[in-house]
Amino acid sequence: MPASSPARHEGSRAGRRRWELRFGSIRGIPIRIHVTLLLFFVWISVTYWIAGLGPRGTITGVLLLALVFVTIVLHELTHALVAHRFGVRTRDILLLPIGGIASLERIPERPLQELAIALAGPAFNLGVALLLWAGLGIAGSDLALSTASRGEAFALQLMWINVALAVFNLIPAFPLDGGRALRALLSRAMGRERATAIAAGIGQGVAVLLGLVGLTYNPWLVLIAVFLWFAARSELAMVRLRAALAGVPASAAMLGRVDVVRADESLAIAAGLLVHHGGAAIPVVLNGATVAALTREDIAAGIDVAGPEAPVAAAPHHQVVTIAPTEPLDRVLDRLGSDAAIAVVVDHDVPIGLVTAEQLASYVALHPRA
């Protein structure tokens, strides 16, 4: 399930990622594992053991589960590789007990590109299932679990799990791949905002049904339902925000009167400049280039750890993107992510303003569309 995710705040990296473990990278895309997934593996292992499967059965079950998550990584990587062909970067892939999320930098501009990205993941799962089916056929298996050997049973289960992953993801409900495919098709006739509203509405309806079924049969489905509900709502809010910002220049929403501080200057100087003008943040420059931004919280954290005379480089910081005053705010939103990065508006290499995701939301609230 490809999904947008916020840019990461360096100052709160420990807070945001203390539950995530980096598990290497593929094609430059970081793979992260949420610690709850490791706890999930432990829980599954204990469940198998209590069920009387013994050491061999428990190891086999956990190995099958591990291969399922390898498949999920490859599913998300397939989304990422197709997105890359259309110039859309993937920030990272995060694995959770309920599956994986490829965090795309933005939604492709062309609906058919989004359609191709959305369908790539389920197509991969169906391809894996087809290969396993062919391999079992060549091996002479009758594809029945009741008569299969241990190895055949393992391959059969993995085959059907891939079929299930493909079918589930093709449900036309946002944020599943099928919902994204539905939005792509609808966008050609009615625009992305309306298409997203329809796909998100279907997604929330599916979430309710899934939650009700989960309350009766499997509590795990309730967790998936909660994720679907909030993911659909979040995507609709982001698309509406982006539509409201389309074509509006960055200069219309920026905070002006910006001071800058050099990376080798002290935190006390940075604090004084920020307090003097009452700004939201202060850009940090190194060799004439804007490399970061400090908020009040960043400066306070740096002073608390290193003291007021420590250089600003010792403090936590926000990532920045530099933009022109005329850059449309919807493009700025894409570059910011959705929460913590800060855009520095630069005119002739001189910082003249700041734009944050919070400011963009405030701008829309103060300038509602007709």
Residue positions annotated with a catalytic role: 76
> Which amino acid is located at 258 in the chain?
V
Asked whether the beta carbons of 175 and 235 are under 8 A apart, the reply is yes
What is the spatial distance between Cα 183 and Cα 113, in angstroms, rounded to a whole number? 12
Residue indicated by tokens 């926000």? 318
What is the spatial distance between Cα 356 and Cα 337, in angstroms, rounded to a whole number? 10
> Which amino acid is located at 161 in the chain?
I
Asked whether the beta carbons of 4 and 91 are under 8 A apart, the reply is no
| Dihedral sign, Cα of residue 11, residue 105, residue 261, residue 249 | negative
Q: What is the 3-state secondary structure (H, E, C) of 27-49?
A: CCEEEEEEHHHHHHHHHHHHHHH
What is the spatial distance between Cα 162 and Cα 130, in angstroms, rounded to a whole number? 9
Asked whether the beta carbons of 97 and 37 are under 8 A apart, the reply is yes
User: What percent helix, strand, coil does the chain show, rounded to 5?
Assistant: 60, 20, 25
Beta-bridged to residue 95, according to DSSP, are 33, 100
